[in-house]
Amino acid sequence: MKKIDQILQSQLNDIKEQGTFKEERVIETAQESEINVNGKKVLNFCANNYLGLANNSEIRKAAMQAIQEWGFGLGSVRFICGTQTIHKELEQSVSNFLKKDDTILYSSCFDANGGLFETILGEEDAVFSDELNHASIIDGIRLCKAQKYRYKNCDMEDLQEKLSNSDARVKLIVTDGVFSMDGTIAPVDLIVQLAKKYNALVMVDDCHATGFIGTNGKGSGEHCGVLDEVDIISSTFGKALGGASGGFISASKNIVDTLRQKSRPYLFSNSLAPALVVACLKALEIINNNKNLITKLHDNTLYFREQITEIGYEVKGDSHPIVPIMIYDAKQAVALSEMLLEKNIYVIPFSFPVVPKNQARIRVQLSSSHTLDQLKHSISAFKECGKSLNII
Ligand SMILES: *Cc1c(COP(=O)(O)O)cnc(C)c1O
């Protein structure tokens, strides 16, 4: 064995001993609220498929037609020969949806966040980042030369103190719109207030909000009544908007123009495939024309949160379809998820280092595609398993 393999093998063994090794469960069907795992039909409560669009028939049809009309791949970055009419249409459609000047597409939101900060901020500038922001924001900020401040999660006093002590040329406040381990929505309205007071810009990563949070699904900015005042929005096509892949940044014309000139993951990475682009256009059209999906998701969320609390579990978060069910003890959380799987409920336990020590939880994610029967079935399984493990 080569040296590197020896080193890595011992590190992998450590991970296994600590009980944090991640096995990938193999799904044998398309992504739906009912899937097959190990030849068994189970109810899926851990996908980011919030609006049930991951296997929507209209979206599938749009993608297939797009392959016929626009081909399979482009084999080019955007600025050489990788921009088709449909890429411009998708950028325009996202801009209209979020009411921003312009939008730039990336292969993923991870890339979008990775290519944002170093492109627009210099040494004279400062970035103020929530401590629980997504890994891609942390990495993106690491790449930039701006002064870096990390404020406590959603703590406006801490943010204010840091803003008031900075005399940077440009100040940029950065937050996840939704914190995905806690199911909490960032106080974007309060952040906007502080931004006004200290002459700062606001950037929101709305991956767990775009398409379904806010009355029209325009995200945490709409939910907090300040969509117009959010300067920069990054988000993904890989969650509610069909769940395939792709990300974007929507912002002012000058910001987006600059990103097109200088953002490295945009300049040096392949263009989004035509089938994805057209399918994402269809996803936006469906969301714009059919508010029932958002209403159904909201109803499912309220019902599940109410019922799970009523049977004695403690849950975290706001009225978000991410429902963290607090178990605290990591082993108990694993035991509960395994017992639930025997009852055909597929959920994932999260423990340290993904969440703080002794804060283990089962994170349920709801979808508009869950039926009332499916929700009832899962509640009764949670009740039975929780009782037999003495959790409730
Ligand atoms: C999922 C997620 C991302 C990454 O999005 P991809 O398009 O899958 O790369 C970035 N930020 C947040 C907050 C996310 O939840």
Residue 379 pLDDT exceeds 90: yes
Residue 3 pLDDT exceeds 90: yes
Q: What percent of the chain has pLDDT over 90?
A: 95
CA of 109 to the centre of ligand 1 (A): 5
Query: Is the Cβ atom of 134 under 6 angstroms away from ligand 1?
Result: yes
Return d(Cα 100, Cα 231) in angstroms, integer: 8
- Per-residue pLDDT, averaged over 213-240, amounts to 98
Q: What DSSP string runs through 200-222?
A: -EEEEE-TTTTTTSSTTS--HHH
Query: Is the Cβ atom of 236 under 6 angstroms away from ligand 1?
Result: yes
What lies within 8 Å, CB to CB, of 376 at 6+ separation is: none
Query: Is the Cβ atom of 238 under 6 angstroms away from ligand 1?
Result: yes
Query: Is the Cβ atom of 208 under 6 angstroms away from ligand 1?
Result: yes
Q: At residue 117, what is the residue type?
A: F
- Per-residue pLDDT, averaged over 351-360, amounts to 90
Q: Whose CA is nearest to atom 1 of ligand 1?
A: 207
CA of 392 to the centre of ligand 1 (A): 33
Query: Is the Cβ atom of 108 under 6 angstroms away from ligand 1?
Result: yes
CA of 294 to the centre of ligand 1 (A): 20
Q: Whose CA is nearest to atom 15 of ligand 1?
A: 207
Residue 19 pLDDT exceeds 80: no
Residue 212 pLDDT exceeds 80: yes
- Per-residue pLDDT, averaged over 277-301, amounts to 97
CA of 177 to the centre of ligand 1 (A): 11
Catalytic residues: 180, 208, 239
* pLDDT tens figures, 34-74: 999 999 999 999 999 999 999 999 999 999 999 999 999 99
Is there a contact between 280 and 237 (Cβ–Cβ < 8 Å)? Answer: yes
Q: Ligand 1: which atom is nearest the Cα of residue 245?
A: 7
Sign of CA dihedral 155, 157, 161, 167: positive
Query: Is the Cβ atom of 176 under 6 angstroms away from ligand 1?
Result: yes
CA of 213 to the centre of ligand 1 (A): 16
Q: Ligand 1: which atom is nearest the Cα of residue 237?
A: 7
Mutate which of 49, 131, 136, 365 for ligand 1? The one with the most ligand atoms within 8 Å of its CB, which is 136
Domains and CATH numbers, the chain: 24-53+291-388 (3.90.1150.10), 57-289 (3.40.640.10)
Q: At residue 99, what is the residue type?
A: K
Query: Is the Cβ atom of 136 under 6 angstroms away from ligand 1?
Result: yes
Residue 318: what pLDDT? Answer: 85
- Which runs of consecutive H residues, i.e. helices, occur in the chain? 3-17, 57-70, 78-81, 85-98, 109-114, 117-120, 135-143, 156-164, 188-197, 220-223, 253-262, 264-267, 274-289, 292-310, 330-342, 372-388
Residue 261 pLDDT exceeds 90: yes
* pLDDT tens figures, 78-115: 999 999 999 999 999 999 999 999 999 999 999 999 99
Mutate which of 111, 134, 175 for ligand 1? The one with the most ligand atoms within 8 Å of its CB, which is 134
Residue 321 CB-half CA count within 13 A:
32
Mutate which of 205, 207, 208 for ligand 1? The one with the most ligand atoms within 8 Å of its CB, which is 207
Residue 21: what pLDDT? Answer: 84
* pLDDT tens figures, 382-391: 999 999 999 9
- For the record, the structure tokens of 88 come out as 């411009």
Query: Is the Cβ atom of 247 under 6 angstroms away from ligand 1?
Result: yes
Q: Ligand 1: which atom is nearest the Cα of residue 206?
A: 13
Q: Whose CA is nearest to atom 14 of ligand 1?
A: 207
Residue 102: what pLDDT? Answer: 98
**Mean pLDDT, rounded, of the chain:** 97
Q: Ligand 1: which atom is nearest the Cα of residue 208?
A: 15
Residue 352 pLDDT exceeds 90: no
